[in-house]
Amino acid sequence: MGGKKSRKDAGGGKDTKKFRTVDELWTHMDLVSKGDPYNEECGWYGQSAVYWSQVPATVDGVLTGNTHGGDMGKWHEADIEESRQFIESIRDGGRGKCIDCGAGMGRVTRDLLCPLYSRCDVLESQSHMLEQAERYLADQPSAGDFILGRLESVPLPPRTYDLVFLELAAMYLTDADLVTFLKQAKVSLTKKGFIFLKENCAKSDKYDIDPEDNGLLRTEGQFAALFQAAGLTMVREAEQQKWPHDYATLKMYALR
């Protein structure tokens, strides 16, 4: 899902009980998929891709992450506003090229990034989302390239972006792939660039898995360890204030 409801059984649910640590989860997924993460029946990425292929390419769809409707779209403006304040608080950030990674149908690209940056590339793995993003951004002078690709395998050009933007998408990457992506994102930054990562975080110190879409609800400690493994420094962090109380904490990180 997009925003994640806090589950009472977070950290003790069916899946997390099976795996004491996230490493055990990755080992298990690797075994059942026989090393093919794109297996649609049992691979970490395959299962998630099947799920996202069925989600409507709408603001409600990407925020609720639901194949049968939802109303998380009403939080879109609050999400955009607090992200804007966060980005503007990084005083030495450039305003040239940016890339929206795992962009869905382009709601953030259109309402947050296009007004702030001179050129905005869009990267998304689902073709129906990317096609809708092209239509949605058709009147935006700063819309750049529309790239059909996956975060774990797409190459990012070095020293190019003033902002690498990643919202509600890091949860779909394995730990190893998230570290690789972040390392690459760091290399793709200009001198004034930074990575903006906005993601659901567990309210307790226990991680959780949403078996519907294979979204991993990481703890803040897990994120900190992954940032460190990617050689990144946290420049700033903040919590989304206007957000439904029964949802997971939505955190924003600026990284370099």
Nearest distance in Å: CB 222, ligand SAM: 18
Beta carbon nearer to ligand SAM, 152 or 220: 152
Question: Is 12 among the annotated ligand-binding positions?
Answer: no
The residue range among 6-14, 101-109, 131-139, 203-211 that interacts with ligand SAM, by the rule CB under 6 A, is 101-109
Among 143, 151, 195, 230, indicate the residue that binds ligand SAM (CB under 6 A): 151
Burial class (CB in 10 A: 0-12, 13-18, 19+), 130: buried
175 with 26: CB under 8 angstroms? yes
Mark residue 83 as left, alpha or beta (left: phi above 0; alpha: psi -120 to 50; beta: remaining): alpha
What is d(CA 53, CA 21) in angstroms, rounded to the nearest whole number? Answer: 29
| Residue 163 near ligand SAM by CB under 6 A | no
Beta carbon nearer to ligand SAM, 77 or 205: 77
| Residue 172 near ligand SAM by CB under 6 A | yes
Nearest distance in Å: CB 105, ligand SAM: 7
Question: Is 107 among the annotated ligand-binding positions?
Answer: yes
| Whole-Å CA distances, 246 to 15, 176, 191, 205, 242 | 21, 30, 39, 17, 12
Beta carbon nearer to ligand SAM, 138 or 191: 138
CB-based contacts of 189: which residues, under 8 Å, 6+ apart? 159, 160, 161, 162, 164, 195, 256
- Alpha carbons within 13 angstroms on the beta-carbon side of residue 33 total 19
What is d(CA 200, CA 96) in angstroms, rounded to the nearest whole number? Answer: 28
| Residue 70 near ligand SAM by CB under 6 A | no
Nearest distance in Å: CB 135, ligand SAM: 15
Binding residues for S-adenosyl-L-methionine: 102, 107
Binding site for ligand SAM (CB under 6 A): 2, 48, 52, 62, 65, 102-104, 107-108, 124-126, 129, 150-152, 167-169, 172
